[in-house]
Amino acid sequence: MMGYSFNHFDPMDLMVETFTLENYVKFFSDEYYRKVFISTLGVAALCTVFALVLGFPVAYFLAKTQSRYKSLFIVLLVFPLMVGNVVRAAGWMVILGNVGVVNATLMWLGITDEPIKFMYTPFAVIVGTTAVVMPYMILTLQSVLEGIDFSVEEAAQNLGATFATTFRRVVLPIAAPGVAAGTMLVFILCMNAYATPVLLGGTGLTMMAPSLYDQIAKASNWPFGAAMALVLIVTTLLLATLSNWLIHRNYVKTMGA
Amino acid sequence: MSKVSINKLKKQFGDAVALEDFSLEIADGELVAFLGPSGCGKTTTLRMIAGFIEPTAGSIHIGETDVTNLPVHKRNTGMVFQRYALFPHMTVAQNVSFGLEMHNVSGKERDSRIATALDMVRMTSFRDRYPRQLSGGQQQRVAIARALAIQPKVFLLDEPLSNLDAKLRVEVREEIRSLQQNLGLTTVFVTHDQEEALAISDRMAIMYNGRVQQIGSPKELYDSPSNHFVADFLGRMSFFKGNLVANGRFVSEAGTNIQVASGQKVGRIGIRPERINVGAHPESDNVFDGWVESAAYLGSLIDIRLRLQGGDILNLHVPNNASSANTAIAPGSPLVASFRSSDCVLFAE
């Protein structure tokens, strides 16, 4: 694929073997593709943040609960993963569509007279993608939080720390490597999301994966598609490595085994 | 330091009663050990004093303050946990500093209190290490320093020695006791190890099934257990079920005749193995012939199960001293055992 990305595209011959950087130049100089690239990064970052913020309390609850329904909760959490992304996106369509559940409720309550356009907006993509990646985030965090000896939190409270202080000064720093791992995993998943952006974003928001798929499958422009794929992979890898390095620098010296 | 008053404390988890009718006054500077098998309610009680568990009924006072409904972080107790519970991301000094920061102690005062606390447990040279770089005993010392640095009103220890090996256990135990006495700490010490409790405490409370069985000094509890459970739990004792047939004369169900001190209602008697002599000792008014059923060599003593004529079993300890060292005690060999009537402990049931 790397080789393909340096080839030349010809509308008649499709792919002409050569060595050229024109695909990369085109990608970074064309405003449309730059926008696709930036919005992919933005959506991925937002979804990761939302998944972290929403997922942390759930993971904390799951890690600490003594409830006998704990395994049931976890099954419920994993259940969406058994349903394909397409089916789940279809579910969001039913909820977010112009005659969907949300709009119907809002209109019934008299909050709005006309349906609000949720579908095919960045909002829909962010909601859908966050929902897709949430179980991964929660499960990663839960396993890390479960590893923290609960008596460490009790010790902090015993020494005079409130719940909030205990969380900020004890739980969070200890959980940091796990938080980072979950964040990285989810960010990678978001960067490479395909079905959800296609179905919920439509033409309103284009992300890298759908866009490069179009290049390869519809425009038959393999060289350019390959270049996009490589940009996507390299960016994801770079960011992952960077965050990994940051974590190692800040935590591994104290948390290593 | 302050006294602690616990009044009619009760804890129920659903239908299960974990603790019932627990009342205890711990004097200023006193060390009380809670001793009992697992599930007896000792840890539950300690955790209620610290505030981690809310009691179903009853009250807890520290000094004159009713702390029954006070949250953990306002109680000012210093707790040491079984698994050390040090903050893994902080150095030794930072661990000790944490509580002081929470109590708004800052600057020179904080530095000097950290130094004093670490000095107290001889961990000064480790102040910049992380917990994972320390051994179990060192970690527990840091945990003690951390708990004491905040100058708590009560010092609480939840099986602090159970993760340490035998030699270290005795060492840290002695350190805890001397710290406790030098600083005059009001202390609750939870343990399931009776030797630990006997060695360290001013008084101990023996608990079973959520109820206190007996409270008293180690000597009181060992020498005059108030019921069968306490006698059986603490140390070893041979028991005989039976009846008083005349004042001072007890007959077991298997027919063994035993002279005892006078008592009212007696359904069972007991005798400690170390109070039994080999041979007919002149002061002993109970002398029995029997056969050695088993003999376990325990180093400093030999633990013998002796079968008496009627079938009763007498458990005795023969010290491994100069006079007994050459005596061959093998299963099946006959042996004469004797003890004084005054050494028998009488139980109503």
Between A83-87, B238-242, B290-294, the lowest mean confidence (pLDDT) is in A83-87
- Give the pLDDT mean for B238-265: 87
A1 interfacial to chain B (CB closer than 8 Å): no
pLDDT of the residue at A112: 81
Q: Do A155 and B79 touch (CB under 8 A)?
A: yes
| Chosen from A153, A157, A159, A253 to mutate, greatest number of chain B CBs within 10 A | A159
Residues of chain B with CATH 3.40.50.300: 4-229
Which pLDDT score, from 0 to 100, does residue A257 have? 37
Q: What average pLDDT score do residues A104-130 get?
A: 86
pLDDT at residue B82 is higher than 50: yes
Q: Point out the residue among B75, B85, B132 whose CB comes nearest to the CB of A155.
A: B85
Q: Which structure tokens are listed for A76?
A: 């419920």
Picking from A159, A173, A257, the nearest residue to B89 by CB comes out as A173
Q: Would you say residue A255 has pLDDT above 60?
A: no
Question: Does the pLDDT of residue B50 top 90, yes or no?
Answer: yes
Q: How confident is the model at residue A92 (pLDDT cuts 50, 70, 90)?
A: confident
For range B54-69, the mean pLDDT:
94
- pLDDT tens, residue by residue, A185-224: 899 999 988 888 888 888 778 888 888 888 888 888 888 9
Confidence of residue A256 (pLDDT cuts 50, 70, 90): very low
User: In the prediction, which pLDDT does B325 show?
Assistant: 59
Residue ranges of alpha helices (H) inside B186-227 are 194-200, 218-223
Of A197 and B114, more confident: B114
Q: Residue B109 — very low, low, confident or very high, per pLDDT cuts 50/70/90?
A: very high
Distance CA B314, CA B234 (A): 17
pLDDT for B262 equals 76
Percentage of chain B modeled with pLDDT above 90: 76
CB-CB under 8 Å, B130 with A254: yes
Whether pLDDT at B318 is above 90: no
Calculate mean pLDDT across residues B182-196.
94
Smallest Cα distance from A160 to chain B, Å: 4
Question: Is the ipTM above a cut-off of 0.95?
Answer: no
Helices A70-82 and A122-146, packing angle to 10 deg: 140
For residue B2, which amino acid is it? Answer: S
Find the length of chain B: 349
Domain B4-229, CATH homologous superfamily name and number = P-loop containing nucleotide triphosphate hydrolases (3.40.50.300)
Percentage of chain A modeled with pLDDT above 70: 96
Which of the four pLDDT bands, split at 50, 70 and 90, describes residue A16?
confident
With 70 as the cut, is the pLDDT of residue B216 above it? yes
Residue A103: pLDDT over 80: yes
Of chain B, the end-to-end C-alpha distance in Å amounts to 41
Q: Cβ of A155 and B86 within 8 Å?
A: yes
Do residue B83 and residue A254 have CB atoms under 8 angstroms apart? Answer: no
Of the CA atoms within 13 Å of residue B232, those in its CB half-sphere come to: 12
Q: CB A169 to CB B82 under 8 A?
A: no
CA distance to partner chain A, nearest, from residue B146 (Å):
8
Pick among B13, B52, B72, B101 to test the A interface (most A CBs inside 10 A):
B72
The per-residue pLDDT for A71 is 87
Interchain pair A160, B76: CB under 8 A: yes
The ranges of chain B annotated as CATH 2.40.50.100 are 238-347
Cβ distance of A152 and B87 shorter than 8 Å: yes
Of B76, B82, B102, the CB nearest to A161: B102
Question: What average pLDDT does this structure show over B139-150?
Answer: 95
What residue has token string 């005659």?
A: A99
> Is A161 at the interface with chain B, CB within 8 A?
yes
Task: Decide if B157 contacts B132 (C-beta within 8 A).
Answer: no
Residue of A nearest to B143 (CA): A155
Across the interface, whether the CB atoms of B87 and A155 are under 8 A apart is answered: yes
Delineate the domains of chain A, giving CATH numbers in brackets.
4-255 (1.10.3720.10)
Options 3.90.700.10, 2.40.50.100, 2.60.120.10, 3.40.50.970; CATH for B238-347 is: 2.40.50.100
Query: What CA–CA distance (Å, rounded) separates A159 from B147?
Result: 7
Q: For B220-321, where are the E strands, in sequence order?
A: 238-246, 249-252, 257-259, 268-271, 277-278, 286-297, 301-308, 313-319
Query: Residue A113: its pLDDT value, please?
Result: 82
pLDDT tens figures, A133-161 = 999 999 999 998 998 888 999 999 999 99
**To the nearest whole number, what is the mean pLDDT of chain A?**
86
B164 pLDDT above the threshold of 50: yes
A100 CB near a chain B CB, below 8 Å?
A: no
Query: Of A157, A165, A257, which is closest to B72 when you measure between CB atoms?
Result: A157
Q: Residue A24's CB: how many other CB atoms inside 10 A?
A: 16
B contact residues 75-94, partner A, Cβ 8 Å cutoff: 75-79, 81-83, 85-90
Whether chain B has a CB inside 8 Å of the CB on A162: the answer is: yes
pLDDT at B326 (0 to 100) = 60
A149 min Cα distance to partner chain B (Å): 7
By DSSP bridging, strand B345-347 and strand B257-259 are: unpaired
State the average pLDDT over residues B291-298.
90
3-state secondary structure of B172: helix
Q: What is the pLDDT of residue A15?
A: 81
Contacts of A152 in chain B (CB under 8 A): 85-88
